[in-house]
Structure 1
Amino acid sequence: MKTVEILQYTLRQGSGAAFHAIMQQVSVPLHQRHGIDVVRFGNSLHDPDSYCLIRAFDSPESMTAKLEAFYISDAWRSGPREAIVDSIEISLKTVMVLSAESVEGLRQM
């Protein structure tokens, strides 16, 4: 079983393409360097200014520890943080437990 965090963002109008570029080129690789499993990320099919980021962790405790280390890191704080945070108008978070098979299914979509 995996602890899965789903982040849904409503972005500032017209910022979806630039947001995706910074996620793809900077933020997701930074997540991966911190040992965070990014399962899926990208713009919504219904609106290019809606975005989803799905991350998986071994446990709730692992999620807390990895995210704390990520968000206090100099690489995040002096890197993509400002551009990402400035693009987000609304952020929603859901955390759930899914089987490893379900996580892999999301990854393969």
Structure 2
Amino acid sequence: MTDSPEFQSVVELRRYTLHPGRRDELIELFEREFVETQEACGMRLFGLFREPAEPDKFVWLRGFRDMESRRAALESFYYGPVWRAHGPAANETMIDASDVLLLRPSGPGFPAPGDAGDSRVLVTVCHPIGPVKEFSEHFAENVAPALRESGVETFGHFETEPAENTFPRLPVREGETVFVWFAKVADEHRELLARTGSELASRLELPWEQRELTPTARSALR
């Protein structure tokens, strides 16, 4: 279940760059072969997404109970028979699979399936100037309530998991600290979200990374 808190202790936000025109090929393979088989190894898949503005990007989320169970689950899957059989075909669609953020909870987690609505999902990655805890508190106390009053409900608040990557076969982005949040997005919210970014700018080391995502057929998070 998407709202299982024990599988949100460690979350990977994964964004792949694919060879032109091969995204649907990967999604079809992924949804057929890699959903139940990964979860059987001890992880949860929260979301699978297309990125409409980037036709060669595929974004997905998976979670683990902790860093040690992450290592065990990834070893079980990537050294197992399903990846041996279908991994080469998946890899052939990819140019780069290293744009990965390793995260831990910093506020509300992901909702139960369906609670976020069947709509586009906005993911925002912020690079705070100061301690991420202070930024997270400011967001929870000031930004999220203001967005909620304007009709934008945020969910899935996360920050960088600083622990060493215990499965180096799959690289993650290192040397940076981020705060990540998710929200539903509708056309009438675009101006508000842009203004929110401007208001947060003084607290950010870099411009935020904001992407609209559309769930695939088997994405639990919608």
State the TM-score bracket (shorter-chain normalisation): 0.7 to 0.9
Cα distance in 2 between the residues matched to 1:108 and 1:76: 24
- Aligned residue for 2:51? 44
Structure 1 residue identity aligned to 2:104: V
Deviations 1:46-78 (A, max 9, x none): 223200121111111111110011100022112
Give the conservation status (yes or no) of the 8 Å contact 1:44–1:51: yes
Asked if 1:16 is matched to 2:39, the reply is no
Of residues 76, 89, 94 in structure 2, which corresponds to 1:88? Answer: 94
- Aligned residue for 2:32? 25
Structure 2 residue identity aligned to 1:89: I
Of residues 70, 73, 77 in structure 1, which corresponds to 2:80? Answer: 73
Which one has a bigger Cα radius of gyration? 2
- Quickly say closer, same or farther: Cα 1:21–1:60, change in 2 above 3 A: same
Runs of at least 5 residues in structure 1 that lack an aligned partner in the other structure? none
**When you count helix as a share of all residues, which structure comes out higher?**
1
Give the conservation status (yes or no) of the 8 Å contact 1:41–1:52: yes
Cα distance in 2 between the residues matched to 1:38 and 1:25: 13
State the SS of the aligned residue for 1:62. helix
Cα distance in 2 between the residues matched to 1:22 and 1:16: 10
Give the conservation status (yes or no) of the 8 Å contact 2:33–2:82: no
Between 1:5-14 and 1:40-49, the stretch displaced more is 40-49
Percent identity of paired positions between Structure 1 and Structure 2? 21
The one of the two structures with greater contact order (alpha-carbon pairs below 8 A, sep at least 6) is: 1
Structure 1 residue identity aligned to 2:23: G
Runs of at least 5 residues in structure 2 that lack an aligned partner in the other structure? 1-7, 112-154, 157-219
Structure 2 residue identity aligned to 1:6: L
Deviations 1:14-58 (A, max 9, x none): 001111111111112221222320011122122232001211111
Give the conservation status (yes or no) of the 8 Å contact 2:23–2:56: yes
Give the conservation status (yes or no) of the 8 Å contact 2:42–2:69: no
Count of aligned pairs: 108
Q: CA deviation at 1:99?
A: 5.7
- The two structures have a TM-score, normalised by structure 2, of 0.45
